[in-house]
Amino acid sequence: MEETKFNRFAFKPFIIEAITKELKFHEPTEIQERLIPSIKKGESAIGQSQTGTGKTHAYLLPLLDKIDPSKSEVQVVITAPTRELATQIYQEVVKITSFCAEGEKITAKNFIGGTDKVRTIEKLKVQPQIVVGTPGRISDLVKEKALFVHTAIAFVVDEADLMLDMGFIKDVDAVASQMPEKLQILVFSATIPEKLKPFLKKYLKNPKFTHVAPKQATAANIQHVLVPARHRNKTNLVYEMLKSYNPYLAIVFTNTKKKTDEVADALVAKGLKVGRIHGDLSPRERKKMMKDINELVYQYVVATDLAARGIDIEGVSHIINYELPITDLEFYIHRVGRTARAGTSGIAATIYEPSNDDALIKLEKLGIEFVNMDLVNGEWKTTVDRNRRHKRVKQGDNVDAKAKTMVKKPKGVKPGYKKKLNYEMEQIKKRQRRLDRKGK
C-alpha cells in the first residue's frame, strides 16, 4: 500500500486505501491535523474554518473509523443546511465505504427534502449506520418513529452559521434532543455568530475549539477585477464580459432569486445557454441542474448565494459579481472561493457603482487587491484607480508645499506683500502643474 502521511492516525485499512486510491490525499490539511486525533478519542469539537480547508474529511475519516459494522443501528448523524451539500457529503461517505471488506460493509443513507417520504420510511425497516441529510427531513423521520437516533455515538452539524441563517437550528435541536446524553458533537462553521452560542452552550461541554484562520482572505491565484457600471445596462455588460472571457465555466452571482431569473432570462434571450441556481427551484430541478452543471452542459450559470457556500462545482474559471452582497460582505469571500480551487487560477470580476465604495474599502482592508479594468468595444483596458480623487488632493498639497519653498521671502515686509506673495505662488503652482502633466 502506498505510503501516506495519514498512516500515523492509525485508521482502519479500508480508510487508508480510500485515501490513497480514491481521495488521493498525500498529507493532512491544517484542520485535519488538529482535529482528527481528538475526534478519534471521542471528544466534542468546534471547527471554525473557511470553505476549501478540508473540514469535511476532518470529521468523516475519524467517524467512519469508529463505525461498528456488526451493529445494524444508527451510529453517526451528519446534518447539512442544503440538499446539495448533504448529497455531496453522502457521496464522499460512499466513496470511502466502497473500500470496506466483504462482511464489514458500512451502510449509509441520505435523507433530504423533496424526496418521497413514504418510500423513505419503507426503506428504514433496516436502520443505516450513517445518516446524512438536511435537518428538517431527519427531524421528520425521527418524529414519525421511522429513524432511531437514540443509538448514535456522534452528531455533526456542518455549516452551522448557514443553518442559523436559514432557520434550521430548531430542527437540529429537535434531532439532538432525541440522542443520548453522552454524545460526541462536532460543529463546523465559517463564523461563530452570537445567536449560535446558546445552541453550542446547551450541547457542548468543554469542546475542543479549533480555528483555522485563512492565510489570506482568498486564494492567491485569483485576480480580482473591478469593472465600473458607468450607467450602462448591467445585463448587457455581463453578456459582453462573458463573451470576452469565454470561460471554461462562469458563475454570475446576484443577490435575489428574482434578479437571478431576470439576468438568466436576458442572457438566454441573447443566445447563451444558461443554468440557474436559487431556492425557488423544485428539488428535482435543483438535482438535475447540479448534475448538468457538473457535466458541463452549461458554460454559464447565474446563481444566488445558495451556490456560494458548501456546493462544490468543479472547473469554475470565472466569477462575476453582478452586484456585491448586501447583508454580509463575507459572501464575497465565499463567492470567489468557487474559483481557483486545487491550485488552479481564476478571475473574479465585480461590477461596481460609486455607492459600493465603502464595501470595497472594507474588502481592501481584508487584503484583497483589486485591478481596475473596463471593457470598451470588446477590449479590456486598464483604467484609473477609483481612489484617484483622494490621490489628486494629496498631489495638490504637494504642489502647494513646493510652491511655498520656491517663493523668496523679502527681508523687510512692504505694503501689498501678501498679495504679491499669493500671486507668485499661483504662478509657480501653474508652472509646476504644467511640468507634472508633461512628465506623465
Q: Which CATH architecture has domain 222-382?
A: 3-Layer(aba) Sandwich (3.40)
**Residue 116: predicted pLDDT:** 79
Q: How far apart are CA 229 and CA 237, in angstroms?
A: 8
Crossing angle of helices 283-294 and 83-97, in 10° steps, is 60
CATH class entry, domain 7-212: alpha beta
Return the pLDDT at 35. 94
For residue 155, what are the β-bridge partners? Answer: 77, 185
User: Quick one: pLDDT at residue 310?
Assistant: 56
H/E element, 208 = strand 208-212
How far is residue 273 from each of residues 1, 289, 316, 320, measured CA to CA in Å?
Answer: 46, 13, 16, 16
**Phi, psi (degrees; rounded to nearest 5) at 13:** -55, -40
User: What is the DSSP code string of 343-360?
Assistant: T--EEEEEEE-GGGHHHH
pLDDT value of position 99: 95
What's the residue count for the chain?
440
Per the CB < 8 A criterion, the answer to whether 81 and 163 are in contact is yes
The pLDDT of residue 394 is: 45
How far apart (Å, rounded) are the C-alpha atoms in residues 298 and 282? 19
Q: Residues 185, 93, 109, 183: what is their CA dihedral angle, to the nearest 10 degrees? A: -10
pLDDT in tens, 124-159: 999 999 999 999 999 999 999 999 999 999 999 998
Q: Which residues of the chain have pLDDT under 50?
A: 1, 389-396, 440
